[in-house]
């Protein structure tokens, strides 16, 4: 069982254009898709598509469009009523895969609602293999929310606590490092911000630099870093070394949710007892499959091609002179 928490879920609408986005002009969409969204929700959608038992926990009233959509898709979920409408996000995709996103802030959560959400997660996380804390935090929630929840989980369950994966950005992700999660899943921009690198593009251009940056997080107490590097592939860094996953170029249709699918691929492989490099291989395969699908559609395991992914192992940590 994999449990996810999405504190700031959304109804994700993706609009596909026939040509490049033209600011200030009127353009007609060629297609549109609408899905329940938010990182943890997307991860559960991908897991359920592959027959993996999961539970999506999120704030939201039973009649909210996000929860209704989850119910309609048969995604196991548990909502905490908040008497407020969840946000809507819009993604605009161009034919070359370029994606422009406009995300609403989401409804504020009171202190009592935050406490209730934490207690709900702790209750349902008992006995789970993984707890995934994912996405942005809504207004009113402190940056240390994920860090505090991780610590509370370890305190309550000790050695029986599920492993914790965190996929967020900015201050909430930075605060989570000190809590020692088992896995962080940044993209290149998030990894650069987290480690003080001014040029995120340099991490995609040089995976060894990304590995050195990730190693600083391992030294700070993080168990592993799964860094998605866009077209350059994905990187897994642990205390034992690092692995780089690459694959032939694909025709990207929409990158919305590709990183979430990558994490889902990693988790379902870990649940099956796969080795670290094979978990990375499936993560890269899932991410590529998601990027080739329209909107925020998530792939099932049988829609991925891990055989197309090459994983290169580096037994020691990267040095400054690595090429």
154 burial via Cβ count (<10 Å: 0-12, 13-18, 19+) = middle
Tokens 């929409």 found at: 254
Task: Name the catalytic one among 12, 64, 260, 270.
Answer: 260
Please name the helix (run of DSSP H) or strand (run of DSSP E) that holds residue 119, with its range, or none: helix 111-125
Give dist(CA 226, CA 177) in Å, integer: 14
Residue 187's contacts (CB-CB under 8 Å, 6 or more residues apart) are 227, 228, 229, 230, 259
Has 305 been annotated as catalytic?
Answer: no
Residues in the chain, total? 323
Which among 70, 48, 47 has a CA at the least distance from the CA of 57?
70
Give dist(CA 162, CA 159) in Å, integer: 9
Which among 171, 176, 185 has a CA at the least distance from the CA of 260?
185
Give me 109's structure tokens: 């959560």
Active-site residue set: 260
């Amino acid at each position: 069982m994999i449990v996810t928490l999405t504190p700031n879920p959304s109804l994700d609408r993706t609009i596909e254009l026939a040509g490049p986005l033209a600011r200030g002009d009127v353009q007609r969409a060629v297609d549109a898709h609408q899905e329940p969204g938010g990182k943890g929700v997307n991860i559960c959608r991908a897991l359920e598509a592959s027959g993996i038992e999961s539970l999506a926990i999120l704030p939201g009233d039973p009649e909210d469009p996000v929860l209704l959509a989850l119910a309609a898709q048969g995604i196991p979920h548990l909502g905490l009523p908040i008497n407020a409408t969840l946000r809507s996000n819009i993604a605009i995709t161009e034919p070359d895969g370029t994606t422009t996103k406009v995300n609403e802030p989401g409804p504020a959560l009171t202190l009592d609602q935050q406490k209730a959400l934490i207690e709900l997660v702790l209750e349902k996380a008992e006995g789970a293999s993984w707890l995934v804390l994912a996405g942005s935090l809504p207004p009113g929630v402190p940056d240390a929310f994920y860090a505090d929840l991780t610590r509370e989980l370890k305190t309550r369950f000790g050695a029986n606590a599920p492993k914790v994966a965190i996929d967020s950005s900015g201050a909430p992700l930075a605060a989570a490092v000190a809590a020692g999660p088992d896995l962080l899943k940044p993209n290149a921009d998030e990894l650069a911000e987290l480690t003080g690198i001014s040029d995120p593009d340099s991490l995609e251009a040089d995976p060894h630099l990304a590995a050195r940056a990730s190693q600083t997080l391992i030294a700070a107490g993080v168990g592993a870093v799964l860094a998605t590097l866009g077209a350059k592939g994905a990187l897994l860094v642990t205390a034992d070394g690092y692995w780089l996953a690459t694959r032939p170029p694909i025709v990207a249709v929409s990158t919305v949710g590709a990183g979430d699918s990558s994490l889902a691929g990693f988790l379902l492989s870990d649940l099956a007892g796969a080795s670290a490099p094979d978990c990375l291989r499936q993560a890269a395969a899932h991410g590529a499959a998601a990027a080739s699908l329209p909107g925020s559609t998530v792939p099932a395991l049988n829609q991925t091609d891990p055989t197309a992914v090459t994983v290169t192992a580096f037994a020691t940590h990267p040095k400054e002179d690595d090429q």
